Every structure is written in structure tokens, then in C-alpha cells.
């Protein structure tokens, strides 16, 4: 509200990696509708254990190995980490088998940190053009992970650049491709991300406290 955004247009994804099902259930009772996990195994295990599972949207936010797509293709509503053609091929194959269109975001490594997955900014257009031939994959926007900075102000350029990239893709008016979502911002930097146009934020620590591992 401080920057003139409508709170209704921003989706809070509760990142529940490592969090037990009973804690997740408390969050769900409090109104959480979107669950983010970064491991296929955790989605498989928790999907049918939590309350109201069928009313939740499950988000795959972590690196996705192609050989594991088959375990979650029927369970997730948005994959935030599409970053290579081999994964697109597998998503197309598995989505088609179950007659589903799978919604995806392209993961972009804006900061070009070696340790992070995602396409480089200047690879995205070409990638999108090659994925657009896969009828069972819908590209719905972009996702990025900013590097950690004590002072989150230092991450602002990352969010600005992702927003600019999404606007330049939108201007190309590809059919099949929507730049509806910008998934950016975590516990440490979500305020900056929202100021720069995020409409999906992925929050773990801020909701559930410190995790033992990342």
C-alpha cells in the first residue's frame, strides 16, 4: 500500500521446505492457499497429507530434474524454475500424457551468480521462442532469486531488471506467452521486490522461522 500497490494483486507463496505437515496445517487454517516447495520428494510426501490439499496451489520453486517431472506433474499448479530445453521437453511429454497444460515461469539468473540456476537475461527471448512450440506448456511470467545482501536495498537492480525484461517480452506479443507473473522476493527482500513490481513473493523464514538447512 505504501507504494500504491493493491495487496489483492500480490500472491503470498508460503515456502514450506523442511516444515512439518502439522505446522503447515496451522498455516493453512490461517488462510494460506499457496504452498512452495523446492524438492520433488517433499511435494510427493506432503501433497496428500496436508488438510484441504485439493484447494491449495502447489508451487515448485526449486531446481527440477527432468527425470522427476513425472512425480509432480499432476500435483503442481505452477513451476517457477523452467530454465532449459531438456526440461521443457519432458514437461511437454508428461503434461500431454495426462491432458494437462502446465503453467510455468522462466527462471532468470539476473545476478549471474555461479551458484544459481536460471537463464542469463540475454538468453531468455530465444528460449521462450523455442518453448512456444510446446502446446502443453504455458509460460506465465518470470522468476528470479536475488543474491543475499544484509542491506536488501542492494538487490533492487535485480528486481528492476526482471521487470524490464518481462516488459520487453510482453511488447513482442507472442501468442501463447503471457507475462502475468513476476515471482521475486523472499523474506529478506520482499519489500523491495514488491516496490519493483513483484506479484508473487516466496516467503519461508518470515512465516515459519529459521530453517536448519537452506
Ligand X SMILES: *Cc1c(COP(=O)(O)O)cnc(C)c1O
Residues that bind ligand X (CB under 6 A): 15, 17, 38, 61-62, 145, 186-188, 202-206
- What number of other Cβ atoms are within 10 A of residue 68's Cβ? 16
Q: How far is the CB of 192 from ligand X (least distance, A)?
A: 13
Residue with grid cell 508428461, as numbered in its chain: 94
Q: Which is nearer to ligand X, 18 or 66 (CB)?
A: 18
CA dist 34 and 61 (Å) reads 12
Q: How far is the CB of 61 from ligand X (least distance, A)?
A: 4
Residue with grid cell 515461469, as numbered in its chain: 105
Q: How far is the CB of 84 from ligand X (least distance, A)?
A: 16
Q: Which is nearer to ligand X, 61 or 88 (CB)?
A: 61
Cell numbers standing for residue 164: 524490464
CA dist 27 and 86 (Å) reads 35
Q: Which is nearer to ligand X, 134 or 181 (CB)?
A: 181
Q: CA distances (Å), 12 to each of 7, 35, 45, in order? A: 10, 9, 22
Beta bridge partners of 60: 37, 79
Q: Which is nearer to ligand X, 62 or 197 (CB)?
A: 62
Q: Which is nearer to ligand X, 169 or 200 (CB)?
A: 200
Residue with grid cell 498455516, as numbered in its chain: 27
Which residue, judged by CB position, is nearest to ligand X in the bound state? Answer: 204
Q: How far is the CB of 162 from ligand X (least distance, A)?
A: 14
Q: How far is the CB of 112 from ligand X (least distance, A)?
A: 17
CA dist 2 and 130 (Å) reads 39
Amino acid at each position: 500500500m505504501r507504494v500504491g500497490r493493491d495487496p489483492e494483486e500480490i500472491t503470498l507463496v508460503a515456502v514450506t521446505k523442511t516444515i512439518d505437515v502439522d505446522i503447515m496445517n496451522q498455516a493453512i487454517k490461517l488462510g494460506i492457499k499457496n504452498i512452495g516447495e523446492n524438492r520433488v520428494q517433499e511435494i510427493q510426501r506432503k501433497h496428500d497429507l496436508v488438510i484441504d490439499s485439493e484447494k491449495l496451489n502447489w508451487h515448485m520453486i526449486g531446481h527440477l530434474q527432468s527425470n522427476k517431472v513425472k512425480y509432480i506433474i499432476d500435483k503442481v499448479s505452477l513451476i517457477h524454475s523452467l530454465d532449459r530445453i531438456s526440461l521443457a521437453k519432458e514437461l511437454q511429454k508428461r503434461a500431454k500424457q495426462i491432458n494437462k497444460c502446465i503453467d510455468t515461469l522462466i527462471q532468470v539468473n539476473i545476478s549471474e551468480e555461479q551458484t544459481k540456476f536460471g537463464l542469463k537475461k540475454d538468453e531468455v527471448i530465444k528460449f521462450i521462442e523455442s518453448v512456444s512450440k510446446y502446446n502443453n506448456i504455458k509460460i506465465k511470467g518470470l522468476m528470479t532469486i536475488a543474491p543475499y545482501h544484509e542491506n536488501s536495498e542492494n538487490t533492487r537492480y535485480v528486481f528492476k531488471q526482471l521487470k524490464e525484461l518481462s516488459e520487453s517480452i510482453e511488447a513482442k506479443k507472442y501468442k501463447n506467452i503471457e507475462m502475468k507473473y513476476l515471482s521475486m522476493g523472499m523474506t529478506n527482500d520482499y519489500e523491495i521486490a514488491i516496490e519493483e513490481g513483484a506479484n508473487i513473493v516466496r516467503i519461508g523464514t518470515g512465516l515459519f522461522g529459521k530453517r536448519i538447512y537452506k
